[in-house]
Amino acid sequence: MVRHRRRDKYTNNDTIMNIHYIDITSHTTDSKGEGLVAPFESDTDRMYTYKYSMCSLTGDDSWKLPDTHIEFIMNGEQCHAGYFILGLKHKGSVVDKYITAALSADKNGRTYLSSPALTLFDEYGSTNAVVAFPCNSQEQLLLEWINRSRLHWPPPELIKEIKRLPAYLVPGSESKQEERRVCFTGEKKLIESFTESQYKLYIVLKFLNKHELKPICEELSRYIMINIVLWFFESNSEDSLVKGNMIIILISCLKNLKQAIKVNYLSYYLIPCRNLMTGRINPIQQAIAKLDELIHKGPRVILRCPKYWQPCRCLQKS
């Protein structure tokens, strides 16, 4: 498939780039990393991981780091639920000058890290770049997700794989620059596990968001859409997404999104205490009105997608 070829191409490009890096590792993320968009269709989202670093929850001493590494303790007591600030535990002998510049002390003399995301430009477009720090407490953070009851998805073998995959701390809260969120590489693995029908549902919802909802409410991101579909797949029976059900499920997802906007709450799929709607949806009434319009269209809502994508033919192959 074109999607797989795109994803593999970005992965290969990352591998080539990383040959030249000493202290960092670069990864293409989000829609381009998933292979869902063409090279010049949107900005590139890239995550730069600082190799000589590690973050862990308080009391997690499962890793013995070399003296070269900078080590942070994740403190979530004064943060939004599911977010953390990074307190310096050990500075390390190999520290990047930009990381050193981002370290600051509070009134009690404790040192914390604050660093916003970066946007880089070249003649081909812009790159949204974030600096990420590896986290070795991913299994503890995923404990609720691992153990909760579910109907059929994701399957046990996928859950076991995801809990072992790396996690990173990336800039997260717009209201507090020092707050960071956990980014799980398991999210990409969940998306890669989608069946073709699941992918098609996700793509249609993503198109509707881009062309119908984001012009009204910029804060309605791809990240919110993927969480809507992840919750749907986990909460419904295995035979719910079959040929002929696509439009019904799409409307159900739009209704779930509308409800999340109304109550201003959407749980992050992997850490449910984290609210993805915090400080996001404004104006609320316009977004709800647009969703009511799309829901009322019923099967005709699919015609709102760009004509070049030919979604009707795509759905017929489900």
12-71: pLDDT as tens digits: 766 666 666 777 777 776 655 555 555 555 566 777 888 888 999 987 666 677 788 889
Quick one: which of 217, 299, 230, 303 has its CA closest to 258? Answer: 217
Most distant CA pair in the chain, distance? 63
Name the segment(s) of the chain with CATH classification 3.30.460: 2-137+166-184
| Helices vs strands, H then E, count in the chain | 12, 11
* 3-class secondary structure per residue, 23-47: CEEEEEEHHHHCCCCCCCCCCEEEE
Q: Which of 159, 173, 233 is nearest to 201 (CA)?
A: 233
Region(s) of the chain under CATH 1.10.1410.40? 194-316
Spatial CB neighbours of 16, under 8 Å, sequence gap ≥ 6: none
The pLDDT tens digits for 255-289 are 999 999 999 999 999 999 999 987 666 678 888 99
- What is the tens place of the pLDDT at every residue in 211-251? 899 888 888 888 899 999 999 999 987 666 665 688 889 99
194-316 to CATH, choices 1.10.1410.40, 3.10.20.30, 3.30.360.10, 3.30.910.20: 1.10.1410.40
Domain 2-137+166-184, CATH 3.30.460 — does that match? Answer: yes
**pLDDT over 60 at 314, yes or no:** no
Is beta strand 111-113 parallel, antiparallel or unpaired with respect to 103-105? antiparallel
> How much of the chain exceeds pLDDT 70, in percent?
73
- Band (pLDDT 50/70/90 cuts) for residue 316 is very low
Residue 169 has pLDDT above 80, yes or no: yes
